Chains A and B, each alone.
Chain A
Amino acid sequence: MEGWAAELASGRPDAAWDLFLDRYRRLIFAAIRHYAQDYDDVMDVFARVCEALREGDLQRLRTYAAQPDHRARFSTWLVTVVRHLTVDWFRHRDGRRRLSVVAEGLPPLRRRIFEHVFLDQRRHIEAYELIHAREAPTLSFKEFLGELRATYSAVTDGRRGRVLGELGGTPPAEEAPAAASPNDIADTRALLEQAFGALSAEDRVALELYVVEELPAADVARILGFPNAKAVHNRVYRALAAARARLAQVGIGRGDL
Chain B
Amino acid sequence: MTVDLATLAAILAMAAATVLTRLSGLVLIRHVSLEGSRRKAIESIPPAVLMAVVAPTAFATGIAETVACAVTAFAALRLPMLVSVAFGVACVAILRVLGL
Asked if A and B are interacting partners, one says no
